[in-house]
Amino acid sequence: MPDIVTLTINPAVDIFVNVGRVEPTRKMRCSPPKRDPGGGGINVARVAQRLGGDVTAIYPIGGQIGKLLQRLVELEGIASLVTPSHVETRENFTAFEETTGEQYRFVLPGSRLHRAEWEAVLDRLATLASKPKFVVASGSVPPGAPDDFFARVAMHAKALGAKTVIDTSGPALNEALTEGVTLVKPNLVELSEYVGTPLDSNEKQVAACRKLTLSGRAEIVALTLGENGALLVTADHAWRAAPLQIEAVSTVGAGDSFLGGMVAALADSKPLDEAFRVAVAAASAAVLTPGTGLCQPHDVKRLLPEVKIREIEAATL
């Protein structure tokens, strides 16, 4: 059994092209498309595997695009446990406008799953022959799957004796935190929506994260802050990572790279603060890669010594 099992209920094939300029009406001649396997959990699996993790990915597939997705995942050296879907697996589309350096992302919702189809994904997790160290459920919930899908993942992971890592948003995040998880990775918008108030200062951000840990909803909160770095908070400690001064090529996949780096390091028994350092290096490396390529190991290794983290004073609740 691998150390890390990822679960993606709404996977996709991500298509990336370059185009001179995005304009209405006229035909826009694009570069040959690059296709990558996608969806939050699959992206986490890709990064964790690149950084030395032993990973298996669970996800549903449907139609010819689903078969392509499985081939793309396995080409990256990741074992797949797939379940059938009656609908074609979705595609996402990203266009890089060469004249401005802007990216245009078109993200499809995914087709509606039948109850038996999303339950089959949970059954693959529940019937694993032996327990992994970590179960990572990441990404969006497609139509047809219940809001508490990620909470059910957490419940099954606990039954296996595995640590549960969740990265989602909206009602799915609310339900998962009600169940309680080991680690949750919201971004600032997602956490602000969850607590129902702007988190416009370091003190408010730390306080919101610590409230989750003290309530038993999450043992660890990794809050990504984009160009302002990241926070890592437990009941007893809080660390802030400063952003690296690099020129971003693409921000696509930075959050997934952060989480993949974090989980790979934790599965390798790295201390929590060191795993945080790897996560920040992986997220920073991801923005150097165009499109949906995610971070590359040589960039992570090069950037790791530049990552600066410091333990900060906890907010008073």
Query: Which pLDDT tens digit goes with each residue over 164-191?
Result: 999 999 999 999 999 999 999 999 999 9
For 296-308, letters b (16+ CB in 10 Å) and e give beebbeebbeebe
Does this model's pTM top 0.85? My answer is yes
By 3-state DSSP, what share of the chain in percent is helix, strand and coil, each rounded to 5? 40, 25, 40
Query: Which pLDDT tens digit goes with each residue over 213-266?
Result: 999 999 999 999 988 999 999 999 999 999 998 888 888 889 999 999 999 999
Which is it for strands 79-84 and 90-97: parallel, antiparallel or unpaired? unpaired
Q: Which of 3, 54, 148, 256 is catalytic?
A: 256
Which residues are bridge partners to 311 per DSSP?
239
Q: What angle do CA 305, 43, 265 make, to 5 degrees?
A: 40
Contact 300, 280 (CB under 8 A): no
Task: Report how far residue 187's alpha carbon sits from residue 303's, in angstroms, rounded to the nearest whole number.
Answer: 22
Active site includes 268? no
Average pLDDT over residues 111-126: 96
Q: How many C-beta atoms lie closer than 10 Å to residue 33's C-beta?
A: 13
> What is residue 280's three-state secondary structure?
helix
Residue 203 predicted with pLDDT over 50: yes
Contacting residues for 60 by C-beta, under 8 A, at least 6 apart: 9, 11, 66, 82, 83, 84, 85, 89, 113, 117, 118, 120, 121
What per-residue confidence (pLDDT) applies to 251? 81
Task: Report how far residue 48's alpha carbon sits from residue 188's, in angstroms, rounded to the nearest whole number.
Answer: 23
